[in-house]
Amino acid sequence: MRHGKASRYGRYTGGPDPLAPPIDLTEALEEIADDVMAGYSPERAMREYLRRGSRDMTGLDELSRRVQQRRRDLLKRHSLDGTLDQVRELLDEAVLEERKQLARDITMDDMDRDFREMQLMNLPEATGAAVTELSDYDWQSSTAREKYEQIKDLLGREMLDQRFQGMKQALEGATEEDRAAISEMLNDLNDLLDKHARGEDTQQDFDDFMAKHGHQFPENPQNIDELIDTLAQRAAAAQRMLASMTPEQRAELMELSMQAFGSPELMDQLNRLDANLQSLRPGEDWTGSEQFEGDQGLGLGDGTGVLQDLAELDALSEQLSQSYAGSTLSDVDIDKLSRQLGDDAAVSARTLAELEKALKESDMLRRSSDGDLRLSPQAIRRLGKTLLKDTGYLSDRQGQRDTRNAGAAGELTGSSRAWHFGDTEPWNVTRTITNAITRTASEGGNPGTGLQLEVGDVEIQETEARTQAAVVLLVDTSFSMAAEGRWVPMKRTALALHQLISTRFRGDELELINFGRYASQVQLDELTAMAPAYEQGTNLHHALMLATRFFRRHPTMRPVLLVVTDGEPTAHLTSHGEARFWYPPRPETLELTVTELDRVQRLNAAITFFRLGDDPGLKRFLEAMASRVDGKVVAPSAQDLGAAVVNEFLHVRSPRLPDW
């Protein structure tokens, strides 16, 4: 740029995006609520949602799958003989160069040449033994001697790299002074660990050690415990790498280790370090092993790094499983996940953790006295509004007035909605003008220069009829409802009807009654959380008795009875309060059920039966019952049950409205 520096923008990597929109709980709540209504506890429903994720959010299961796939890839790609292969290659090169030199050297005594040739030809097959046998060999070729020295240098750097990541590269081309500094560091480190094991060390001891050798610890530990943790994790990985080798590989490596830097003291210091770390951190996995299947050879340092990766992946797998007591998604190590799977996986895990926290801290879920999470009243209202909209009652589609009427002309509800052709309710002038101003501004106009109304701007005030109703919804909770996939639609229906009455017909009273072998009055949150139970019996007789009792407590209200069932009555209540079950239904059960229905009818109740399924016996029974009490039978599918119940309630609730 001519007048300033160019700027480049990329993805924010400093943690959660500070400009990201707040977590939207709508989709999460709906899916969690579906699982709750299917019988899950809210706690488990939340866990299942976080596990499977959503269309725009990767879940725990997918992250766990990626972790396991990376683990399998590491094992299938690599082998642990990289260092042995390098040593064998250098040894072969050294022997070849030495034999060339012997062939060229015409000044050498023939007997000496023959002896050397024989010594080189009869080297042991095992790489470690061959290197050891040549430790005292007087090399005639400078190139061969250099190759052999490279073997000792490589072994030293690999041995150190097993315990201190990056040492292999740092010590490449190291001088004797560099090696002496490493030896001094190991001695000082072991002395510090010995002192710590006795409980005699201080922070000053650690600070002095880091001041002297800190440049060799890029992890930059801040205290002795952090230093021990870092070293112990890598040392344990080195031990697991050895255990993962074949016995032959392990034996060769042990023999070669004594040649590291040409000094056995190095291995003594490293063995002392391993012993110190193992005693200080016995909880690390010092004995595990892995089965490598690939052909990409790893050196000792790189192999130890891969074993550390495998340990990290195992830890991540446990964290993502959330299977231990008190687990939360804040337990997931985001840095490790990013290192193993990339930034996208880390973002997904962070999003899941934020969602979990938002769900627990929101008013959607609340902790009960027994410690369980439950849907809060606010969550139930929010879900009920969504379900009511699904029935079509709150739909903005034109031409469907049957599901949008809040009542005939009467008292204002305080709510408004968009005007549709045929509406006669008064305008909400404030909302109408506001809509016009907002639309004009969004289209680029200036509301101050003039305002024109359009049909889409108009909102009307909703009203409700003054007549109050006592509404009873009887829902069948026998096991067949769950077995036939009608359990959740039944609950969704109850939520939608409850939302409609509590927001549009506030003067009405709603009673929810569930009936299986027995019937009982149930609160909405209890019905929502109710799990299917294998219970035989459809006790409509008991349910009608409770409905009659409710209607009599509200004598000034218009009684409305809505019955949802998928089976004939197979149980009734005796005079002693016990339930009797028979299948097929016995005449006694049917007679008592009909008698109780007659009592409801004498209260002038509007009665509608909602038949689920195609059972011929149920069809005949309900049609006979409806004919007897001047009621009605509706046979919706399970998916359309909510809309059928809401529409029928509106039709019965406001009979003066035309049947659109």
Q: Which two tokens stand for residue 330?
A: 């804040």
Same domain membership, residue 347 and residue 327: yes
Whose CA is closest to 76, among 227, 334, 291? 291
Same domain membership, residue 501 and residue 454: no
Same domain membership, residue 184 and residue 36: no
Q: Residues in the chain, how many?
A: 660
Q: Which domain, by its residues, includes 414?
A: 409-464
Same domain membership, residue 271 and residue 327: no
Q: What is the pTM of this model?
A: 0.64
The answer to whether the beta carbons of residues 131 and 258 sit under 8 Å apart is no
Same domain membership, residue 249 and residue 104: yes
What are the percentages of helix, strand and coil residues in the chain, rounded to 5?
Answer: 55, 10, 35
Summarised one tens digit per residue, pLDDT across range 478-534 is: 888 888 888 888 888 888 888 888 888 888 899 999 998 899 998 887 787 777 777
Domain count, the chain: 4
> Nearest 10 degrees: CA dihedral of 483, 489, 492, 498?
-100
Whose CA is closest to 488, among 8, 125, 37? 37
Same domain membership, residue 434 and residue 569: no
In the predicted model, residues of the chain with pLDDT beneath 70 are 1-24, 37-39, 41, 362-374, 376, 390, 392-414, 422, 424, 447-448, 463-466, 654-660
Residue 633: CATH number of its domain: 3.40.50.410
The answer to whether the beta carbons of residues 387 and 421 sit under 8 Å apart is no
Summarised one tens digit per residue, pLDDT across range 277-331 is: 999 999 999 998 999 989 898 888 888 999 999 999 999 999 999 888 778 888 8
Same domain membership, residue 72 and residue 133: no
pLDDT for residue 451: 77
Same domain membership, residue 475 and residue 416: no
* Pairing status of strand 558-565 against strand 519-521: unpaired
Same domain membership, residue 338 and residue 283: no
Same domain membership, residue 92 and residue 210: yes
In a domain, 427, yes or no: yes
**Residue keyed to tokens 């969602």:** 355
b or e along 36-50 (b: 16 or more beta carbons within 10 Å of the residue's beta carbon)?
bbebbebbebbbbbb
